Structure 1
Amino acid sequence: MHLPGTARVTPSGELAIGGVTAAALAERFGTPLFVYDEALIREQCRRFHRALQATGLDYQVSYASKAFLCRALARLMAEEGMGLDVVSGGELYTALSAGFNPAHIHLHGNNKLDTELRQALDAGVGCYVVDSLDEIARLNTLAGEAGTQARCLLRVTPGVEAHTHSFIQTGAEDSKFGLNLGNGQAAQGLRAMLDAPHLDVLGIHFHIGSQIFSTEGTLAALARVLEWLAQQRADYGFTAQVLNVGGGFGIRYTDADQPQPLEDALAEIAAALRAGTAEHDLPLPQLWLEPGRSVVGEAGWTLYRVGTVKAIAGVRNYVSVDGGMSDHIRTALYGAEYEVALANRMDEAAADSYTVVGKLCESGDVVARDKPLPHPQPGDLLAVSCTGAYHYAMSSRYNAMLRPAVVFVQDGQAREVVRRETLEDLVRGQE
């Protein structure tokens, strides 16, 4: 198993993260358990800053909180000089309750509710990524009622498809997100925003998808957007101060994944931005980014306790754990692949292939298919790597499962940042 960040195998053959063994974490906090390598999260933030500083461009980098957000993480992002991208009133409330500066928050979403827009306006959110024609008039009216101008980006779809799962492609023409460049919607939206007295249009946003391993799609989208911006300057006199190219930087889940180093990717994007603006005689805008998975994905681990083991001769071996699709939905949703190991027996050779399944009442409740493991025994501790993004964030109470605790580990210390749900939590609010 690949061991990112501070993860190590101890001399006694146990997995340790942040200097704390998985067994000690499971004993103290229970299972299932989400464990985050705090040092690795911080290093990923710093890598983005270093790489962007090396380009010489004015930049802003905001963490895409949909990947995973809690108050402790919001505070960590503030400490590392990151902005925050939120997509709902709940994410915004979480960030604000952590004391995150609202001026460094962007509000995204293809269907922002009036209540969410008012919440953001009252808080003083720094930027709104406008996603639809309908939103323009509503935001202008609400900003006027609040006595302010809302700083905005227009989200466009450049018609470029990322080489990724169709569910996480967002830049193609057939997308629920943004306004299309090719059919005139984006130009219509920009004109309406420029005519709106309570909107301050800073620039343009696009995002072509997630878990992308090269810059090919981003560079193609960037070329189209810059050509379009040159036309908008000619037609309406609009010059973008900001160009937000989203995020989507891929991570390694298994050996099959070969993501481009983010330093190389950012250097290529910056070079293309310089060349493209020079070609169209456009001023160089600020470059904004919104990485999520690439910041927290490899820093996260899930620990489970092995329950039953079932062998079907000539068919498959199953090992069941005490969680499942309620805290690990991506395998069922996307066919995502993960590496697994017995955290208390890391130095033992694999004996057979096992499919790790959860305890929920669905045949599709699969954590990982046909993975090499030593013969699992009830009570063993099973670790799944790279579960820091879209796991806790997408967790559910299906089958009345309780959401796991979340702990941050660093320098031999562990702190619980999200407590485990209780049975009382499960029925709170019910009649």
Structure 2
Amino acid sequence: MKLHGNMSIKNNTLYIGGVSCIELAKKYSTPLYVYDENLIRSNCKEYKKYFRVKENGNKVAYAGKAFLPLYMCNIINEENLCLDVVSGGELYTAYKANFPMENILFHGNNKTIDEIKMGIELGVGRFVVDNFYELDIIEDLCKNKNITQEIYFRITPGIEAHTHDYIKTGQIDSKFGFALINGDLYEAIEKLSKYKNIKLVGLHAHIGSQIFDIEPFMDEVDIMMDLIKEIKEKFDIDLKEIDLGGGIGVYYTKEDKPNSIKEFCEAIINRVDKKCNKLGIKVPKLIIEPGRSIIANAGSTLYTIGSIKDIKDVRTYVSVDGGMTDNIRPSLYKAGYECSIVNKMKYEKVNNVTVAGKCCESGDILITHANVMEIESGDILIITSTGAYGYSMSSNYNKIPKSAVVMVRDGDDKLVCKRQSYEELLNLEII
């Protein structure tokens, strides 16, 4: 198992941020999400440095869908990043955390009227407009308030990124954005001449998630810069901001070979400079929206091992006290992970097992083939790199309460999301 960030081994025991995983499990029970706060902050700082936020006025917007409790909003604000939200709930979370509304980009392919109204009333900095329906609603609501809302148009650039089909978003066959190939984008721009309360300031594209190849991002840059010049020539509109989305891949297992934040950012910056010089246009302010690559490797999940079922000459099932309710990704995407036993870190790995969840589903499998040391009921198992889309996609399936979340930093631990009780599980139900 690869150690990430501020993980270390002392006396065969795994520590994260200077805190023993055994002690965390005892103090907060399991399943438990554990986040390395210093690694999160370090990743934020790297993005700002290598994306030339200070020098060029570019922006890094954290993709909140990856993980967005109130405490995470505070970290992002303290690190001077912007925030990408995709729902009224995420927007309201940012509002309650006193996140600066002018630093928010509001995404979504089907924002409700109430969500759009909330965004306008709270004063979000940019709406990333996804379709004609949304465009009309924003205009009507802003007209009634006599205000002007700045927007980006989201486009589908027609790029097929090499990733899982469920997380491809840049190709034309997508629920997101205005397509280029059928003229939707140009029709949307033409409609703007009739609107007095909307100002187009930029374009947005997102080609997918967990992408390891830099080349699709280079293709995206070329398409977006060509559009800047074309829109200026055709519509006399100067677009000063280009949002290239997120999608950089991260390490989950040894098969993954991700680029570093530095490599990713420098490749984009250099390509933009080169392309703009070739086109004879001014370099726009650039925005990127990393989520997974900021938070994934900073998070891990601790479980207590319960039943162990050895089917001779078939497989050994090791069941834990969580599963698809706290990490749906293996069931949804067949996502791979690494694991270990936190108090046997230097033991020889002698068993190949299947780590199973406790849900009443045959598909509730967290890791199909895991090489582990001698294992017994009561051991604490850790699955690493669960920081993105673990807690945020968790559910109450089988009436299982949601797990707690702890931040660790410099030898201290802090509870940032309480474990859901059975009473809280029933709070919304009425007899």
Instruction: Describe the SS at the equivalent of 2:394.
Output: coil
> In the TM superposition, what are the counterparts of 1:340-419 in structure 2 within 5 Å?
340-419=339-418
Deviations 1:309-362 (A, max 9, x none): 011111111100000000011001001100000112111111110110100010
Over aligned residues, Cα RMSD in angstroms?
A: 1.1
Q: Does 1:79 align with 2:78?
A: yes
Q: Contact conserved, 1:354 with 1:369, CA < 8 A, in 2? A: yes
Matches of 2:129 and 2:359, distance apart in 1: 39
Q: Does 1:3 align with 2:31?
A: no
Paired with 1:428 and 1:138, the residues of 2 have a C-alpha distance of 34
Query: For this pair of structures, how many residues does the alignment match?
Result: 430
**1:187 aligns to what?**
186
Query: SS at the partner of 2:263?
Result: helix
- In structure 1, the partner of 2:36 is 37
Alpha-carbon distance change, 89 to 54 in structure 1, aligned in 2, over 3 angstroms: closer
State whether residues 194 and 201 of structure 1, in contact with CA within 8 Å, keep that contact through their aligned partners in structure 2: no
- C-alpha contact 2:34 2:301 (8 A) present in aligned 1: yes
- For the Cα contact (< 8 Å) 1:121–1:146, is it kept in 2? no
Q: What are the residue-to-residue correspondences of 1:130-169 with 2, within 5 Å?
A: 130-169=129-168
Q: Which one-letter code corresponds to 2:9 in the other structure?
A: V
In the other structure, the counterpart of 1:236 is 235
Deviation track 1:117-167 (CA, whole Å, cap 9, x = no partner) reads: 111111111110001111111111111122211110000010001110010
SS in 2 for 1:297: helix
Q: Which residue of 2 is the match for residue 100 of structure 1?
A: 99
Contact 1:168–1:210 (CA under 8 A) maintained in structure 2: yes
Could you say which residue in structure 1 is the equivalent of 2:302? Answer: 303
1:225 deviates by 2.4
- Counterpart of 1:42 in 2: which secondary structure? helix
Structural mapping, 1:2-81, within 5 Å: 2-10=2-10, 12-53=11-52, 56-81=55-80
Counterpart-to-counterpart distance in 1, 2:399 and 2:114: 29
- Residues 181 and 228, structure 1, Cα contact 8 Å, conserved in 2: no
Cα distance between partner residues in 2 of 1:204 and 1:81 = 22
Q: Which amino acid is 1:304 matched to?
A: Y
1:226 positional shift? 2.1
> TM (normalized to structure 2)?
0.98
CA contact (8 A) 1:403 1:421 kept: yes
How far off is 1:191 after superposition? 2.1
Aligned-pair CA distance for 1:54: 8.1
CA deviation after TM superposition for structure 1 residue 194, in Å? 4.7
Q: Counterpart of 2:56 in 1: which secondary structure?
A: coil
The superposition leaves residues 227-255 of structure 1 with CA deviations (integer Å, 9 ceiling, x where unpaired) of: 23322212111121100000111111111
Structure 1: 4+ residue segments shifted above 6 A = none
> What are the Cα deviations for residues 153-210 of structure 1, in whole angstroms up to 9, with x where unaligned?
0000100011100101110010000111111011111222354211111110001001
Aligned residue in 2 for 1:200: 199
Residue 112 of structure 1 and its aligned partner are, at CA, apart by 0.5
1:55 is displaced (CA, Å) by 9.4
CA distance in 2, matches of 1:195, 1:27: 63
**Counterparts of 2:407 and 2:193, CA distance in 1:** 45
Change (3 A) 1:14 1:194: farther
Unpaired runs of at least 5, structure 2: none
8 Å contact 2:4–2:298 — kept in the other structure?
A: yes
Q: Is the 8 A contact 1:342 1:383 kept in 2?
A: yes
Amino acid at match of 2:81: M
**TM-aligned CA deviation for residue 212 of structure 1:** 1.0
Percent of pairs identical after alignment? 38
Query: Matched residues in 2 for 1:54 and 1:241: separation?
Result: 15
Given that 1:136 and 1:192 are in contact with CA atoms closer than 8 Å, whether structure 2 keeps it comes out as no
Q: SS of the counterpart of 2:43?
A: helix
Relative to structure 2, which stretch is displaced further, 69-78 or 263-272?
Answer: 263-272
SS in 1 for 2:428: coil
How has the CA–CA distance of structure 1 residues 54 and 101 changed in structure 2, closer, same or farther, with 3 Å as cutoff?
closer
